Homo-oligomer: A and B are copies of this chain.
Amino acid sequence: MGKSTQPRRADAERNIAAILATAARLLGADPGVSVAEIAKEAGVGRVTLYGHFPSRESLVDAVLRDAVDHAELALSGLDLEGVPPAQAMERLISSSWEILDRHSRLFVAADRALPAERIRERHGKPLARVEQLIARGMDEGAFRTDLPLSWLVSTFFGLLHSAAGEIEAGRLPRAQAADVLTRTLRSVLAA
């Protein structure tokens, strides 16, 4: 904890921040970008990068966590309580989709580098919000109760990520995605 470690720690934090910001930007442009290119563009050596992120997987994972933290911040500002569940759900779908759409290439990178279950774990907080809203809709008679709550939450998550994949694969025009998602989830959730 002497004087000599303070600047080193500050350097490390600056490097990590530069690596994560650069990785988010480059992965967002090309999900297949290499770790070497990310290091170069971030202005750090490969050894430094690997010192903080020992594998491509751990780097993509850290970028994903950051992106979900930012998404969480934006979603936490939504007013979901003051409106009926079906209307709140349309708000939540459209805001969630807007955020995911901005990160859709990062999602493709995450899908290639990380197991599906890990990606889902990283979305714990946004999914808790989805779960809470669906539970309220079930209680108030707006949403169906013949399917398990956890399944409906997974369907919400799965369909949003399917839409990102469909756009990336060229099977769904980007401009149609929000409407297609809203219609599909409305049918799945309706009482």
A residues adjacent to B (C-beta < 8 A): 111-112, 115-117, 120, 144, 146-148, 150-151, 154-155, 158-159, 162, 165-166, 168-169, 171-172, 176, 180, 183-184, 187-188, 190
**What are 25 A-B pairs at a CB distance below 8 A?**
A111-B116, A112-B115, A117-B165, A120-B165, A120-B169, A144-B187, A147-B180, A147-B184, A148-B176, A150-B166, A150-B171, A150-B172, A151-B166, A151-B171, A151-B172, A151-B180, A154-B162, A154-B165, A154-B166, A155-B159, A158-B158, A158-B159, A184-B188, A187-B190, A188-B188
Classify the secondary structure of A's interface with B: helix
Interchain nearest-CB distance for A156 vs B (Å): 11
Residues of B within 8 A of A147 (CB): 180, 183-184
Q: How far is the CA of A71 from the CA of B120 in the complex (A)?
A: 28
Copies of this chain, whole number? 2
**Are B169 and A117 closer than 8 Å at their CB atoms?**
yes
Residues of B within 8 A of A187 (CB): 144, 187-188, 190
Report if A155-B172 is in contact (Cβ < 8 Å); known contacts: A116-B165, A166-B150.
no
